[in-house]
Copies of this chain bind each other. A is one copy, B any other.
Amino acid sequence: MADYVYGPGRNHLFVPGPVNIPDQVIRAMSRQNEDYRSPAVPALTKTLLEDVKQIFKTTTGTPFLFPTTDRVFSLLWIDQQQRLNFNVDVVESDWGYGADLAALDYKLRQDPSHSIKAICIVHNETATGVTNDLSAVRKILDKHRHPALLLVDGVSSICALDFRMDEWGVDVALTGSQKALSLPTGLGIVCASPKALEASKTAKSVRVFFDWKDYLKFYKMGTYWPYTPSIQLLYGLRTALDLIFEEGLENVIKRHNRLGTATRLAVEAWGLKNCTQKEEWFSDTVTAVVVPPYIDSAEIVKHAWKRYNLSLGLGLNKVAGKVFRIGHLGHLNELQLMGALSGVEMVLKDIGYPVKLGSGVAAAAAYLSNSTPLIPSRI
């Protein structure tokens, strides 16, 4: 199979998804099709559904594995909203700002009749690198004793940032295989609270692509699959979960915090600005870096790929040309990041930004050499 744009050595993949797949997962997925109606696939699926709950930190939720890509997520919201018969009141924040919690507080206070049925929020905004404080959202809901469902897009957070479905009373949370789980694209993983499942029963139902009822029927029968799953992705997910549990989910989260912190220190040392406007919203999975007006950030992305085999994220929509993004999520370690940060430095220099070579890397190294623990299996 030809590689269309071969370059020597590894590709350095630092877009905020799809991310680097562990070799163990690539191996596990390198396999034949199987008859998914044989007892083997349900036996495997059962372990997945049980174990996947851990990455949501839930014991009461019900997980679903959907064959899909990222496109489905925003549609899922619409779908949920239609099925639950909601009017949608979109509260937008400026790019680089977190969710407007004051507005939420105000709206809930104005809703003693509980006409608001659900709050939809993104945990980590991938385009700008903004992490919202979900525990604060929960506190506001609780303060008002408001029964609205809490629906969370955890696509670029779950398995990388601290996410607590049960503790924070999240009713629906979802993520995708190609983000922090470090798998190929193809699986959407959704977890629903008992309250959400109950609500879906009574809601006006249109038959949709992702119908929980289809799944629940097959869950009861113990065959699990209303239609043909990707056998390869199931085995991949099994291995991805095994690796996360081997490292320890808390250690995974700490590792992402280290990588995020190191990246931000490098950006600061380069004299550049983080697109995220306040420290409380800093994202440990993606950093959007604002470039000076005389530089087109798309040129940085293009040049990184052409010269150093480094894949960075483009700025999207409103910030196209103004920011580039460094994804630092998934199966990644400190020296991989250091290689990428070195690469960004060289690109900045090449493109005409007056960076001091070694400055960002030194800042990141100083932090990492103080905070990186020994690898537990090697002590």
Contacts and interface: CB of A to CB of B under 8 A. Distances in A.
Interface in A33-57: 33-40, 43-44
A372 B338 CA distance: 18
A348 to B, nearest CB: 10
A202 interface: no
Interface in A198-243: 207, 209, 226-233, 235, 238-239, 243
A119 interface: no
A69 to B, nearest CB: 4
Name, among A70, A78, A306, A349, the residue most crowded by chain B CB atoms within 10 Å (CB to CB). A306
Can you tell how many copies of this chain the complex includes?
4
Interface stretch (A8-16, A98-106, A273-281): A8-16
A23 B11 CA distance: 10
A362 to B, nearest CB: 3
Contact of A228 (B20, B69, B232, B335): B69
Nearest to A27: B27
Given A32-B23, A235-B1, A374 B306 contact: yes
Contacts of A261: none
Contacts of A362: 356-359, 361-362
A345 interface: yes
A309 B184 contact: no
Contacts of A69: 67, 227-230
A115 interface: no
B184 A231 contact: yes
Nearest to A309: B333
Contacts of A268: none
A138 to B, nearest CB: 30
Interface residues of A, number: 109
Interface string A232-262: 1101001100010011000010010000000
B24 A27 contact: no
Contacts of A29: 29-30, 232
Given A33-B178, A71-B227, A238 B1 contact: yes
Contacts of A36: 18
Contact of A345 (B44, B365, B377): B365
A296 interface: no
Name, among A8, A333, A357, the residue most crowded by chain B CB atoms within 10 Å (CB to CB). A8
Nearest to A68: B67
Contacts of A10: 10, 20, 333, 336
Given A247-B6, A357-B369, A338 B339 contact: yes
Given A1-B235, A6-B375, 11 more contacts: A4-B39, A7-B375, A18-B33, A18-B228, A29-B232, A70-B227, A71-B226, A186-B230, A308-B334, A339-B339, A357-B366
Interface of A: 1, 3-13, 15, 17-21, 23-24, 26-40, 43-44, 67-72, 75, 78, 178, 184-186, 207, 209, 226-233, 235, 238-239, 243, 246-247, 252, 255, 305-311, 314, 331-340, 342-343, 345-346, 349-350, 356-359, 361-363, 365-366, 368-369, 372-375, 377-379
22 contacts: A1-B27, A1-B28, A1-B235, A4-B44, A5-B43, A7-B333, A7-B375, A9-B332, A18-B36, A21-B33, A29-B30, A30-B30, A33-B184, A67-B69, A72-B209, A78-B207, A184-B230, A306-B374, A307-B375, A338-B338, A338-B343, A361-B365
